[in-house]
Amino acid sequence: MNSPNAPMVRIRGLRKVAGQAVLLDGIDLDVARGEVLCVIGPSGSGKSTLLRCLHQLETFQRGVIEIDGELMGRRLSEGRLHELPEREIRRQRAQVAMVFQSFNLFPHMTAQQNVAFAPTQLGKDSQAAIAALARELLARVGLAGREDAYPAELSGGQQQRVAIARALAMQPKVMLFDEPTSALDPELVGEVLEVMRELARNGLTMIVVTHEIEFALSVAHRVAFLEGGRILEHGAAGEVLTRSAHVRTQAFLRRFNTGVGSQGTAKPSRL
Amino acid sequence: MTTQMQTIAAQDLNECRNMPVTPRRHPGRAVAGAVVLIFLGWLALGAVRNPAFGWLTVIHYLFNRDILRGLGLTLWLTAVVAVLGFALGTPLALMRLSANPVLRTTSAAYVWLFRSVPLLVQLLFWYNIGYLVPVITVRIPFGPTLLALPSRDLISAQLAAIIGLTVHEAAYAAEIVRGGLLSVDPGLMEAARSFGLSPRSIFRHVILPQALPTVLPAAGNLIVGTLKGTSIVSIIAVSDLLYSAQLIYNQNYQIVPLLMVATLWYIAATTCLGVLQRFIERRYAPGTLAQAGGRKGRGPLGADV
């Protein structure tokens, strides 16, 4: 592990192309330990791709990603970067956890089994310890008593909270959220954001791709605005979201401030 | 029929609150049911009365030793071919979905070839392999020959039947398994991958349980088809159920009764397979149509039944 002051995540010159399209065009970004970074931007700007590269679910052509002092997916030797073998990449993936927009819970497993599944497969601890951890995490996201429910028996908000517990069970160094509330009915958004707020308070390092501007304002330490695969602007949440100097950011944010600005709070005001 | 609009005065409408509702009548259903029942009865009567069916002969041969031996061989062939077919078909399906273009193309070519050649033609090919490859040798490359046997001795009629049926079955099994794998939500694979799980673990615990509900009905269908399809091996004189019946009627000329004997056993066997399939589907694919079919109410197409 690196020194406690070094950033948890460092990204330099991250570039990804797919065919003719440039998805990420030289991203430089640091995330400190315990920091919450919100990534905003129009759809197709590369937000999800950035998360997926961080998690090595997708490959990238240029640049480096370092998490907790360890180079992701690459090994540096004699002035060249070499792709790591699959087994190493799997080990690195397990240090990062992702919460998906569409939950992606395993439908044939109960909430408890969903949370316990990966740690059990990876042999992280004894069966009993993992089961106890799973129960504890489900209680932490407000789902005590629903351990034996299957995903189909849970509401969207509950499913996403199981997914968060499932990600926490990996005891990740960084947690990635890919539009975690975009697939939810408006009245269910609040309960998920509340859980995320709690995680932030507990000092978890989080990178959150979101359209919830109020959440970003109240929880994020910093906000990065992405467009066309580049970071157009990034800085303190209040700066970027309320006093942005950038024309593109202003245009993007204006859409949220006209009537749907309070989208995602516990009591939606647009009704 | 003319449509007429009914208007009800306000106070009458209030009285309608708790009125009982007389269900609509379906006279057409009763008529259609009666017509079909009469037709079926006529068919059954004809079958019983027609002496050509020779029901007494049927009963006499139903449990004949050679017939039962033939039935045993048919069941054994079906089991072997089903197991080997899926054992070969599953890797073919995985190859087809692989990132490696050589594996992908090889698998596609296999399925294309063995689905294109009629089973009967394949069986004749395997049976006559001796003309194509007269001697089968086992040798160390560029080294001494360890074993050399004439193909005719090595490939018996029964082995030719197993090989021919299996390579044919594998082509269809590969497509069934591929369909099942494609039906799995890619998001689930992604989630499993994101935990750093090994491909083997992901396949075993995430993909397989998700693919089974799609694979099982089609696989059951294929195996029922295989059971009946094995009757084709009678052409290369493998003494399966049909061939055993043929051997008997070639001697006593009771063609129809012995075909009935074979038919009854085929029906009995496929019925057992059907029951087995339902059981397995309930066990491994809960919450799918296998259970919805048993519920009362509307049929799968939303029609009342």
pLDDT tens profile A187-240:
899 999 999 999 999 999 999 999 888 889 889 999 999 999 999 998 888 888
Q: Residue B305: its pLDDT value, please?
A: 34
Cβ contact A104–B191 (<8 Å): yes
Model confidence pLDDT, tens digit, residues B159-200: 889 999 999 999 999 999 999 999 999 999 999 999 999 999
CB A167 within 8 A of CB A175: yes
B193 neighbourhood in chain A, CB within 8 Å: 57, 93
Three-point CA angle A133, A70, A229, nearest 5°: 100
A31 touches chain B (CB under 8 A): no
The single residue listed with the structure tokens 């159920």 is B241
**Where do the structural domains in chain B lie, given as residue ranges?**
53-285
What tokens appear for B219 in the block? 């696989």
B186 touches chain A (CB under 8 A): no
Question: How many Å is the maximal CA-CA distance in chain A?
Answer: 62
Asked if pLDDT for residue B296 goes beyond 60, the answer is no
Q: Mean of the pLDDT values across residues B254-274? A: 94
Model confidence pLDDT, tens digit, residues A148-190: 999 999 999 999 999 999 999 999 999 999 999 999 998 899 9
| Min Cα–Cα distance to chain A from B244, Å | 47
A92 touches chain B (CB under 8 A): yes
Cβ contact A55–B209 (<8 Å): no
Which run of H or E residues covers position A10?
strand A9-18
Bridge partner residues of B245 (DSSP) = none
Cβ contact A104–B187 (<8 Å): yes
User: What is the C-alpha separation between B114 and B122, in angstroms, rounded?
Assistant: 8
How large is the ipTM?
0.84
CB-nearest to B197 from A55, A118, A152 is A118
What tokens appear for B194 in the block? 């994101």
Q: Mean of the pLDDT values across residues B215-222? A: 93
Cβ contact A100–B185 (<8 Å): no
CB atoms within 10 A of CB A31: 22
Q: How far is CA A168 from CA A174, A196, B202, B219, in A?
A: 10, 11, 19, 39
CB-nearest to A121 from B191, B193, B201 is B201
B291 touches chain A (CB under 8 A): no
Q: Which of A104, A109, A115, A182 would best serve as a mutation to test chain B binding (most B beta carbons within 10 A)? A: A104
B193 touches chain A (CB under 8 A): yes
| Mean pLDDT score of chain A | 89
Model confidence pLDDT, tens digit, residues A44-81: 899 999 999 999 999 999 999 999 999 999 999 998 99
Q: Residue B299: its pLDDT value, please?
A: 41
Nearest CA in chain B to A93: B196
A121 neighbourhood in chain B, CB within 8 Å: 195, 197, 201, 205
What tokens appear for A62 in the block? 């240029």
CATH-assigned architecture of domain B53-285: Orthogonal Bundle (1.10)
B209 neighbourhood in chain A, CB within 8 Å: 108
What tokens appear for B273 in the block? 């397979």
Q: Residue A246: its pLDDT value, please?
A: 80
Residue with the bigger pLDDT between B294 and A105: it is: A105
A19 touches chain B (CB under 8 A): no
The answer for residues whose C-beta is within 8 angstroms of residue B23's C-beta and 6 or more apart is none
pTM listed for this prediction: 0.78
Question: How do strand A222-227 and strand A36-40 relate by DSSP bridges?
Answer: parallel
Asked if pLDDT for residue A264 goes beyond 50, the answer is no
B-proximal residues of A, 96-135, CB under 8 Å: 96-98, 100, 102, 104-108, 117-118, 121-122
Q: How far is CA A252 from CA A236, A256, B66, B67, in A?
A: 17, 8, 82, 80
B15 touches chain A (CB under 8 A): no
